[in-house]
Structure 1
Amino acid sequence: MADYGLGSLDPAGSLAAAGALSQPAEKYVNNPDLELAWASKAFQHAEVYFNLISAVDTTCLKLTGKMDEEIYTEFRKDFPDLHVAAVTEDELKSEEAKSKWRPFCNKFEGKVEDFNYGTLLRLRSDQDYSEENSCIVPRIQFYAMEIARNREGHNLAVWKKTKEKGTSEDTAQKQS
């Protein structure tokens, strides 16, 4: 996984950051410490998620438990032709896109915890997080895209690459 130079927070710092980050956005104005805490938490989430999809068959993976089905159904109803394997930032963040995404996201307010929390999303599902392959989206948009990628088999490429790498490393170790 790419290193964004964010460092890490100790457990006490992580708890303080989580508490601060749960406050209404209007309460904060360009606080560098808060921005660093948010970036660190978003990076940690991305790292855990990528490790997860690298380790398991993603077609069976549930991200929200009982809400996955509703998120996926609503997503495909609202975005039937969106090719989730590779998206552009424009498809997620342009003014036209925002006018479609906003009503979708708002359906999950009060249903999905932290539905509007900034989360890193990979633009191409077959690649790791990197500066070029990541953008910040609301958590529900991340869930919609990643649940679709998992169900439709697009994240299998990551898992297969990891398995192949492990197999070739095992073979190399046996030959040494």
Structure 2
Amino acid sequence: MEMLEAASLLSRPAEEFGNDSLVEEMWAVKAMEHAEVHFNLLVSVHPSCIRLTPFDDQIYQTFRQDFPDLKIDVLTDDILKSTDAKNRWRQFSQKFSKLEDYSYGTLLRADAKDRFCPENALLVVRIQFLAIEIARNREGLNDVAHNTFKPSPRDSNES
């Protein structure tokens, strides 16, 4: 029940909260849970079979049209958040502004071959996460993680 309340709270407009540390903590928990679920899906199902949204084809086509030479196997904040990159990503993101949650903060694995952990996590907006992970799936870059790792078992004491 607490998670449902937290989720509904996080869907409210950001202007209502200012710099509320509780909201930041809830966001961090939600982002980490999303990262764990995504990684467990990635290692459970072959990446070429994963569809993250009904718009995967459009996201991928637009991503590779807008970023044809972007290497996505290993990413850094410098690659994704330079002044030029921010402008290009902002233009890309606006093309998907009708997509629900397109601008939510999301954790992305920096290195496609490795699992989620604090050292391998970058904070990006959801549409960046989707574009990069869809491309990694289609271009075979998530195959190493899929073949290397097993899903994390959920703690049986969780509800």
Return the TM-score normalized by structure 1.
0.82
Partner of 2:40: 51
Aligned to 1:83, what secondary structure does the other structure show?
coil
Corresponding residue to 1:120 among 107, 114, 118: 107
Aligned to 1:132, what secondary structure does the other structure show?
helix
Partner of 1:23: 12
Deviation, 1:26, is 2.1
Residue type at the aligned position of 1:29: G
Deviation, 1:18, is 1.3
Residue type at the aligned position of 1:46: A
Deviation, 1:146, is 0.0
- Measured on the aligned residues, the alpha-carbon RMSD in Å equals 1.1
Corresponding residue to 2:147 among 139, 143, 160: 160
Partner of 1:138: 125
Matches for 1:35-114 after TM superposition, within 5 Å: 35-64=24-53, 66-110=54-98, 112-114=99-101
Deviation, 1:21, is 1.3
Distance in 2, Cα, partners of 1:150 & 1:75: 13
Deviation, 1:148, is 0.1
Is the 1:123–1:134 contact (alpha carbons within 8 Å) kept by the matching residues of 2? Answer: yes
Distance in 1, Cα, partners of 2:3 & 2:94: 28
Is the 1:55–1:162 contact (alpha carbons within 8 Å) kept by the matching residues of 2? Answer: no
Structure with the greater alpha carbon radius of gyration:
1
Distance in 1, Cα, partners of 2:149 & 2:85: 33
Return the TM-score normalized by structure 2.
0.90
- How many matched pairs? 150
Distance in 2, Cα, partners of 1:145 & 1:128: 15
Distance in 1, Cα, partners of 2:9 & 2:95: 25
Percent identical pairs in the alignment equals 49
Gaps of 5+ in 1: 1-11, 164-176
Aligned to 2:123, what secondary structure does the other structure show?
strand
Distance in 1, Cα, partners of 2:11 & 2:141: 32
